[in-house]
Amino acid sequence: MKFLQKMSKDMKDRLITFGILFGAFLIVEILILTGGASRHLQAMLIPICINMLLAVSLNLTVGFLGELTLGHAGFMSVGAYAGCLFSIYCKDLLPVFIRYPLAMLIGGAVAAVFGILIGIPVLRLKGDYLAIVTLAFGEIIRSVIINLDFLGGAAGLKGTPQDATFISSFAVVVISVLLILNFLNSKSGRAIKSIRDNRIASESCGVQITYYKMLAFVFSAFFAGIAGVIYGHNLNILTADTFDYNKSIEILLIVVLGGMGSIRGSVIAAVIITALPEALRGLDKYRMVIYAVLLIAIMIFNSSEFGKRIREKYDPKKLFAKKNAVKKENADE
Amino acid sequence: MEFLSNLISGLSLGAIYALIALGYTMVYGIAKMLNFAHGDVIMIGAFTVLATVATAGFPWYIGIIASVIVCTVLGVTIEKIAYKPLRKANPLSVLITAIGVSYFLQSVALLIFGSGKQSFPTVIKANPIKLGSLIIQGNSVVTLIITTIIMVVLTLFINKTRLGKAMRAVSEDKDAAELMGISVNRTISLTFAIGSALAAVAGIFYGSTYGFVDPYAGAMPGIKAFVAAVFGGIGSIPGAMLGGILLGIIENLSKAYISTDLADAIVFGVLIVVLIVKPTGLLGKKIREKV
């Protein structure tokens, strides 16, 4: 216990996040080994990892930089196509364990380059204007990809080796979350958060707004690109139509549901949002209706007075603090 | 001549976008929210016409009236149930709720009407007009005339009537408007009602132009109209009209002369260029930053 008390708040936060991640991983692995995992569940594992990566990376711009972007799927598609092309050309040249990580790095790097190119004009704008321009860029990327023959056009890109496994995807998620958490706790991360909280104040303290905005944007694009590479290596055919603005909105939905500026929230919400339509499969054709109603209900509940009271009452931190206080009192007696 | 006929059909497509964009911009101006479900209200409007005219066999004018009524009621109900509880919430939560409403409308339409494309009944019967070698589709003419009338009436309503004044007041400053005795809730409901009624009209024109409806038919015109509203400067009513019409013309001309597949990309590209040059849209107000 003393060890726990000595740890900084930040360290504790991280331990909880990674505890949740590894706990979930262990449960899933045990289920798979014992045969308790259905095929549906197993097919969902990689998409969950992909959504975690996407949500955590989008959280960088939406939650920590405070700029709403609706074009995250665009970066994902650029990364996916770059990584898949690389894998297709190097299929026979390199073994999987070199090829696949290299593909990820290439996908991420290409997405980051696009992040720079798009970020230069986009980050001059603010608020809803920024949102619509990122949406526009996402849609432009999609229609251009459909019209490029060497990317398979509208029929899609075929022949990508199926390199994605649950364990490797999970490892990528863990490494990415670690990198992003470190980034957020660095000088740059603090600068980014200060821009969100008060742009004018941080500017007058000498924070280079443009530079740090760009940094967050590019970092976020990089991880979206990696998520795209995993996505591409999990499917037989990669079609550009899957990366429309609905995909971007789905990622945004995960971020908002998980709580903006909370990496742990994004991770948990990614599981919920990916699994929820599957879990509602039993309801057959009513499942999308119920999904929509649940979504609206959750959003209303979250911001209502009633919801706030409930959350305060069952806040794990407070419950924990109360117990500790009681213990202390007992010890004093 | 070909150019002129392309221009006119672009104008009529733009008029439809403008009608939808008006709904976006009015709601944004008053409630400061992006109503992502607006596109799906169009789809519901089009399906109402389909159900009353094609399925139930009523005459076309009943279909139009029914569609306007259904959409108006729908718009007000959505506002009351989904958006009103979130009026003080973070704008992103409202955005996600709007997306939830959009999913809801799409999936309900999917349940009732199925996922296939259904052919839209001919509501607008007008012969093509021939002017020498220039042929103008009857549909385009009707769309243009009616949209022009609607826009004139709307502009008069907003600038000349008491209710219009109330709407402008609420969009400028909600608290001050309330202190002046304006019922903010009622004004917001009114805005949603007008926006949704316009969406119903747009849905009828859209269905007539393209000839079919499906549960996802509202998504793309919705996004385009959103782009149009931003293009003209979101929150500005003349801006939405201008933005919508320009967008329609650009889209149609690039379809005709550059590439059908890249038309959307070109539209979005123009938007980006405009916003980089004028960051608050064509007619948007500059917001001064106070330190």
Q: Answer yes or no: do A153 and A177 share one domain.
A: yes
B270: in domain:
no
- Report the 10 Å Cβ neighbour count for A231: 29
Shortest alpha-carbon distance between residue B63 and chain A (Å)? 26
Tokens of B74: 């729908």
Shortest CB distance from B86 goes to which of A124, A132, A303? Answer: A303
A172: in domain:
yes
Q: Answer yes or no: do A199 and A316 share one domain.
A: no
A35: in domain:
no
Q: Please answer whether residues B25 and B285 qualify as being in contact, where contact means their C-beta atoms are separated by less than 8 angstroms.
A: no
A4: in domain:
no
A120: in domain:
yes
Contact B97 A300 (CB under 8 A): yes
B53: in domain:
yes
- Last residue of one domain, picked from the residues A238, A264, A279: A279
What's residue A319's pLDDT?
62
> What distance in Å separates the CA atoms of residue A168 and residue A166, rounded to the nearest whole number?
6
A13: in domain:
no
B253: in domain:
no
B111: in domain:
yes
Contact B279 A137 (CB under 8 A): no
Helix, strand, or coil (residue A26): helix
Q: What residue ranges in chain A does DSSP mark as E strands?
A: 157-158, 237-238
Q: Answer yes or no: do A195 and A249 share one domain.
A: yes
B276: in domain:
no
Contact B107 A288 (CB under 8 A): yes
Number of domains in chain B: 1
What's residue B282's pLDDT?
84
Query: Best of B35, B104, B106 to disrupt the A interface by mutation (most A CBs within 10 Å)?
Result: B104
What's residue B36's pLDDT?
86
A→B interface, C-beta within 8 Å: 62, 68, 121, 124-126, 128-129, 131-133, 135-137, 139-140, 143-144, 146-147, 200, 245-246, 249, 252-253, 256-257, 260, 285-286, 288-289, 291-293, 295-296, 299-300, 302-304
Shortest CB distance from B234 goes to which of A128, A139, A299? Answer: A128
Give pLDDT tens digits for B235-271: 888 889 999 999 999 999 998 888 888 888 898 898 8
Number of domains in chain A: 2
Range of the domain at B147: 12-219
Range of the domain at A82: 45-279
Q: Answer yes or no: do A275 and A286 share one domain.
A: no
| Maximal CA-CA distance, chain B | 62
Contact A136 B262 (CB under 8 A): no
B150: in domain:
yes
Looking at this protein, which amino acid is placed at residue A253? L
Q: What is the mean pLDDT, run by run of 10 residues, along chain A of 333 residues?
A: 66 84 85 78 89 94 90 94 92 86 95 94 83 89 87 82 88 93 92 91 91 94 96 89 87 88 90 83 77 85 78 67 58 54
A185: in domain:
yes
Q: Answer yes or no: do A51 and A192 share one domain.
A: yes
Would the pTM of this model clear 0.90, i.e. be above it?
Answer: no
Q: What is the dihedral of CA A288, A295, A250, B103, to 10 degrees?
A: 40
A21: in domain:
no
Q: Answer yes or no: do A273 and A156 share one domain.
A: yes
A170: in domain:
yes
Distances A104 to A15, A59, A92, A94, A169 between C-alpha atoms, Å: 27, 20, 17, 14, 11
Shortest alpha-carbon distance between residue B82 and chain A (Å)? 7
Tokens of A43: 């097919």
- Last residue of one domain, picked from the residues A279, A297, A320: A279
Beta bridge partners of B135: B130
Question: What burial class does residue B224 get, using C-beta atoms within 10 Å of its C-beta: 0-12 exposed, 13-18 middle, 19+ buried?
Answer: buried
B286: in domain:
no
Shortest CB distance from A285 goes to which of B103, B111, B289? Answer: B111
Positions in chain B whose pLDDT score sits under 50: none
What's residue A172's pLDDT?
94
Q: Answer yes or no: do A264 and A333 share one domain.
A: no
B237: in domain:
no
Place of tokens 């026979």: A92
Query: Best of A61, A124, A139 to disrupt the B interface by mutation (most B CBs within 10 Å)?
Result: A139
Q: Answer yes or no: do A93 and A126 share one domain.
A: yes
**DSSP letter (8 states) at residue A65:** I
Place of tokens 């959009």: B102
> What distance in Å separates the CA atoms of residue B159 and residue A111, rounded to the nearest whole number?
48
Q: Answer yes or no: do A266 and A327 share one domain.
A: no
